[in-house]
Amino acid sequence: MSTLAPERPDAAEPEERPPVEKPRPPLLSSRWLWALGIIGLWIVIWAVTKGNDTLELAGRERTSVHDALAGFRDDVLASRDSNPIIQLTYEIGGWFNSFVDWLQRMISVENFPRPVPEVGWLGVTAVATWIGLAIAGWRIAILVALSFLSFGVFDYWSGAIDLLIVTFVAVGVSVLIGLPLAVLLGTGNRVVHSVMTTALDIFQTMPTFVYLAPVALFFGIGASGAVVCTLLYALPPIIRVAGHGIRTVSETTIEATDSAGQTRWQRLTKVQLPMARRTIVVGLNQTILAALSMATIAAFIDGPGAGQDVLDSLKTVDTGGGFVPGALIVVIAIMLDRTTTAASEYSERAARGGVDLRRRRIVLAVAAVPVIVCLYLSRQYPWAAEFEETGWRTRLADLVNDFFDWFTDVFRDVTQGFKDLISAVLLNPLESLLAESPWWLVAAALLGLAFVLGGLRALLPTVVCVAGLLYFGLWNDAMITLNMTLVGTVLVMVLALVFGVWMARSPKMDLVLRPLLDTGQTIPPFVYMIPVLALFGTTRFSAIVAGVVYAAPVAIKLVADGVKGVSASTLEATRSTGSTTWQEITKVQLPMARGHLVLAANQGLLYVLAMAVIGGLVGAGGLGYDVVLGFARSEEWGFGAAAGISIVLLGIMVDRIARGAADKTSR
């Protein structure tokens, strides 16, 4: 049946009206204009007052707060034998030490008087491969086998296995503690949810480096400190993600099962947990990757594993020597990421009947036979118990050093020119504005920006954080770190806008870049410093570039997802008016994706801040250097502790301002 009305030749043709253009949201709202006004006023006052009241400490000057923190450390150490809390923490640390030591003697180092581990490399590789086959299929089994073989081939078997031991011990404890807390987060009332979310926000805002000093003080260094700081850093992802999965189970489903008279325990175990299983596995995946990242950084407190080799290479600027263990850490990250993801998909397929369980049991039983044979061989024969040195580690390190020597010689002018350009245009002017302004001017500007961009929800935390930065006496160093963080964030957002928009508008580019970005997000931050050092040397710029590379993947994906989320009908309407591609991007897609842009900037800030701290090892200055100094010299412990707390305050402040801006933009 036709819906077209018959033509009426005698009817007057209606007058055509121009299409009414719907108002588009402006890129700069009034509050952003207010923010620009505050910055402009700041610059005017800075031009007159710069160099005064900067609160810069002279030489080795320390404040009474630094001395008080050092005294607290001394009191803790002195009361180790009498304080019940310290005794408890050291006893927990002793348990972790003993358990990690037992696992090491089982699979990674000699178990005296036996000159090799109880289970050699062949048996460990076979068991790991069989587990990969059991939980995720044969493709993952091959990936696991090749990954474990690479540890031995490149002469890093003990270091890689030790890193895995620390990671999995921490993950095991994190799951035992995190899942009950996730249930509480997912089923608790609004007050419980709000309190727990705030605590998780604070933990996830803290850069990884900051966990080390207090953990080393209360639990000791070595395996114990490495496990504790790793599990503390790995806890928030599983609590937050699993709790979200439990909380978002359909209310209709819950009401339907409640009508059958089930108890709260039955509802949790038979409805909420099974329906949130996929999300819980995603949380486990994030926890494993976070644990690996932190276990690598725990080398700073003598944690076992390949992170020690990366740290030693950073100290001596040995690019090739750090590249090999760094590459193996990347292999471990990719292996763990792909295994947990594939295991989730495999279990979902099995639950829906997509896997022949009888055939699977037969395959696993048959595959167990060679595993048992490999275990026997690894206990009886030296060649199967300990990898013979292949020399590939040294050869690859030499090749990498030769490549970077050639690259830096050929492109020295390019890299130096890029560094000089960014320093002249962004880094030096912004540092002068932040570090040379009177403290009261910077504080007033930060409070004004917080209120204008994020309202009272951003202003109140900013007041507390600014007061804290002043109290801990490292205001000038905090401004230097904030400067590096802001410059890094600007560079991150440039990359995010270019590649994010490109990915959103080109499915082919999305197909090419997304796997690379996923891989980039699995690499521990420590590893990024190695190639950057070779290109830019031991300067603050190296820390900024490493932070940009570390933060870019997540920011690019957020921008791409936001731009891609603009509806096709909106774009069609825009194209019908004759808009160019540039107009479509700048006047429609980017304004409508503002929430994602601000969130990308927020994540970029936090990721770059984390690397600015690690950059203290390579001459970055600021709070990162202060923390490293506190680790290196016991008499500077109070100074380093104050720097660590200041980093936390700085991270919370920029996070709350950015979150407040994102919330207001979304609304």
Task: List the structure tokens of 191.
Answer: 């007050």
86/236 Cα distance (integer angstroms): 24
The domains found in the chain, sorted by start residue, are 29-61+412-667 (1.10.3720.10), 86-390 (1.10.3720.10)
268/187 Cα distance (integer angstroms): 9
Residue 483's contacts (CB-CB under 8 Å, 6 or more residues apart) are 427, 430, 431, 434, 435, 622
- CA-CA-CA-CA dihedral for 311, 317, 319, 321, to nearest 10: -50
Taking CA atoms, 639 is separated from 63, 73, 229, 435, 649, in Å, by: 9, 11, 21, 19, 15
The answer, yes or no, to whether residue 241 has pLDDT greater than 60, is: yes
Q: What is the pLDDT of residues 453-484, one digit of tens each?
A: 888 888 999 999 999 999 999 999 999 999 98
How many CB atoms neighbour CB 26 within 10 A?
12
Distance in angstroms between the alpha carbons of the first and the last residue of the chain: 44
Q: Are 661 and 454 in contact (CB under 8 A)?
A: yes
**What is the enclosing helix (H) or strand (E) of 447?**
helix 439-454
Quickly state the pLDDT bin for 619 (edges 50, 70, 90): low
Q: For residue 374, give the nearest of 161, 122, 148 by alpha carbon.
A: 122
Quickly state the pLDDT bin for 577 (edges 50, 70, 90): confident
Peptide bond preceding 553 in cis form (omega within 30 of 0): no
Overall residue count recorded for the chain in this entry = 667
- Across 112-129, average pLDDT: 91
Sign of torsion over alpha carbons 489, 495, 498, 502: negative
Q: What is the pLDDT of residues 33-48, one digit of tens each?
A: 888 999 999 999 999 9
Q: What is the pLDDT of residues 582-611, one digit of tens each?
A: 888 888 888 888 778 877 887 888 888 877
Q: Are 622 and 544 in contact (CB under 8 A)?
A: no
Phi, psi of 79 (to 5 degrees): -95, 15
**What is the enclosing helix (H) or strand (E) of 469?**
helix 456-471
Three-state secondary structure of 341-387: HHHHHHHHHHHCCCCCHHHHHHHHHHHHHHHHHHHHHHHHCHHHHCC
Q: For residue 62, give the nearest of 662, 636, 647, 645 by alpha carbon.
A: 636
Most distant CA atoms of the chain, gap in Å: 109
The answer, yes or no, to whether residue 249 has pLDDT greater than 50, is: yes
What does the angle CA 559 – CA 565 – CA 569 come to, to the nearest 5 degrees?
A: 140
The answer, yes or no, to whether residue 21 has pLDDT greater than 80, is: no
Q: What is the pLDDT of residues 485-530, one digit of tens each?
A: 888 888 999 999 999 999 988 888 888 888 888 777 777 777 777 7
Residue 154's contacts (CB-CB under 8 Å, 6 or more residues apart) are 324, 328, 390, 392, 393, 396
The answer, yes or no, to whether residue 422 has pLDDT greater than 80, is: yes
488/36 Cα distance (integer angstroms): 20
The answer, yes or no, to whether residue 664 has pLDDT greater than 90, is: no
136/281 Cα distance (integer angstroms): 13
pLDDT value of residue 23: 46
Q: What is the pLDDT of residues 327-344, one digit of tens each?
A: 898 899 889 888 888 888
pLDDT value of residue 169: 93
Quote the radius of gyration of the chain (alpha carbons, Å): 28
340/334 Cα distance (integer angstroms): 10
**What is the enclosing helix (H) or strand (E) of 492?**
helix 475-505
Q: For residue 227, give the nearest of 163, 319, 274 by alpha carbon.
A: 163
What percentage of the chain exceeds 70 in pLDDT?
Answer: 94
Instruction: Fill in the amino acid letter for 47.
Output: A
What does the angle CA 558 – CA 564 – CA 276 come to, to the nearest 5 degrees?
A: 60
pTM summary value? 0.81
Mean of per-residue pLDDT scores for the chain = 84
Sign of torsion over alpha carbons 469, 649, 607, 626: positive
Q: What is the pLDDT of residues 283-327, one digit of tens each?
A: 888 888 888 888 888 888 888 888 888 888 877 777 888 888 888
The answer, yes or no, to whether residue 11 has pLDDT greater than 60, is: no
Q: What is the pLDDT of residues 187-205, one digit of tens each?
A: 877 888 888 888 887 777 7
pLDDT value of residue 237: 87
